[in-house]
Amino acid sequence: MSKQTALYQEHVDAGGKIVDFAGWQLPINYGSQIREHNAVREGCGVFDVSHMTVIDVTGSEAIDFLRVVLANDVEKLERAGEALYSAMLNERAGIIDDLIAYRRESGYRIVVNAATRAKVVDWLAGVVPRFDVALSERPELAMLAVQGPKAIATVVSLFDAPDIAELPAFNALELGAAMIARTGYTGEDGVEIILPGDDAIALWRRLLAADVAPCGLGARDTLRLEAGLNLYGQDMSDANHPLESNLAWTIDWSDEERGFLGRDALSAIKADGAERKLTGLILDGKGVIRTGAKVVTDAGEGVVTSGIFSPTLGYSIALARLPRSAKGDVQVELRGSLASARLQRPPFVRKGKSLVKG
């Protein structure tokens, strides 16, 4: 039986078309995915992301624990409120999940994916006994992402908290029971707010009353792909390592003494050079590149991990895992025949502007 977030009835009332996503009943759209996408690029939209898994990490060795289970290094979070993005790797350097870790006054908070919840909880439980650390899941907390060029002004006025406007990217502040973080999955400015379910319902209603567009999973997917952000389970999985997933920048090698899980395997891969890379594609003509399509390059074949029609650009874009030396013009399978496409380093769009050259 799939689960409902605290906001389920709000979605139904707002005309949301409900689908099953990772065991949760969530809206795919509220009428038009493209209109919701454009609302976030041009104004402000709100997403219910309460299906995400919130885990608080406490204990005297919380930092030591996270420095082992995360490939990025929480040591660089100097103050409460600072956050970073990281992969969590298995011993073969396969990606178990991707997440955001926040430093708090006491301990840390990590937010992992919904679909990976059971796997991640099991994996972490296997490492916990080595440390003085306690994990506590927070299923009673909901999460809203408020995103778009007008998001900050809207949230500042609703919370009556000008401090939010001063928050740097990847920083959070806690206001009572709410954590407000300047993070997101859209390539726009905005916040993600973690708060108790009842408070989330009240905030949702105030946001909609302030003309913020409710946005579903469909728009979330096209926004994140334009922003060049991976979707776990689609662009990467346990079968992929970070160096073939456009995530080399998230690996912190600087402390040579830090034996994060997967480090030895990833070091060996790095020394040999990754055989594949995750990069972007742009379709030259009409049509839509679909997830799973074959890509033919001079350096061999690859596969589309996520393909969409980009509402901002007006043509189809994709992420694809290709041979490392692939470059320039390629061909992609489109409804049974091959069409010409070219490589484009993601992101494709940031803060409403195209980053595509030519």
Partner 1 sequence: MSEIPTELRYASSHEWARLEEDGSVTVGISDHAQDALGDVVYVELPEVGSQVAGGQEAGVVESVKAASDIYAPVGGTVVAVNSELEDAPETVNEDPYHNGWFFRIEPDNADDLSQLLDADGYAESCEADAH
Using CB under 8 A as the criterion, which residues of the chain lie in contact with partner 1 when the complex forms? Answer: 28-29, 32-34, 218, 222, 286-288, 290, 308-309, 335
Q: How far is the CB of 30 from partner 1 (least distance, A)?
A: 12
In 3-state terms the chain splits into helix, strand, coil percentages (rounded to 5) of 25, 35, 40
Q: How far is the CB of 347 from partner 1 (least distance, A)?
A: 19
At 38, the amino acid letter reads: N
- Cβ–Cβ contacts within 10 Å for residue 41, how many? 23
- d(CA 186, CA 273) in angstroms, rounded, equals 31
Q: Which is nearer to partner 1, 129 or 314 (CB)?
A: 314
- d(CA 72, CA 107) in angstroms, rounded, equals 17
Q: How far is the CB of 309 from partner 1 (least distance, A)?
A: 4
Q: Which is nearer to partner 1, 253 or 309 (CB)?
A: 309
Q: How far is the CB of 224 from partner 1 (least distance, A)?
A: 14
Contacts 24+ apart (CB under 8 A), 24-30: 24/51, 24/114, 26/51, 26/216, 26/217, 27/214, 27/216, 27/217, 28/216, 28/217, 28/218, 29/215, 29/216, 29/217, 29/218, 29/219, 30/213, 30/214, 30/215, 30/216
Q: Which is nearer to partner 1, 53 or 310 (CB)?
A: 310
Q: How far is the CB of 148 from partner 1 (least distance, A)?
A: 19
User: What DSSP character marks residue 49?
Assistant: -
Q: Which is nearer to partner 1, 287 or 323 (CB)?
A: 287
- Residue whose C-alpha is closest to residue 298's, from 326, 259, 340, 260: 326
Are 53 and 3 a contacting pair, CB within 8 Å? no
- Residue whose C-alpha is closest to residue 133's, from 228, 74, 62, 66: 62
- Tracing tokens 């011993």 back to the chain, one arrives at 91
Q: Which is nearer to partner 1, 35 or 342 (CB)?
A: 35
Q: Which is nearer to partner 1, 180 or 293 (CB)?
A: 293
- Give every CB contact of residue 129 below 8 A, 6+ residues apart in sequence: none
- d(CA 286, CA 298) in angstroms, rounded, equals 23
At 213, the amino acid letter reads: A
Q: How far is the CB of 95 from partner 1 (least distance, A)?
A: 27
Q: Which is nearer to partner 1, 59 or 287 (CB)?
A: 287
Q: How far is the CB of 76 from partner 1 (least distance, A)?
A: 39
Q: Which is nearer to partner 1, 170 or 309 (CB)?
A: 309
Q: How far is the CB of 285 from partner 1 (least distance, A)?
A: 10
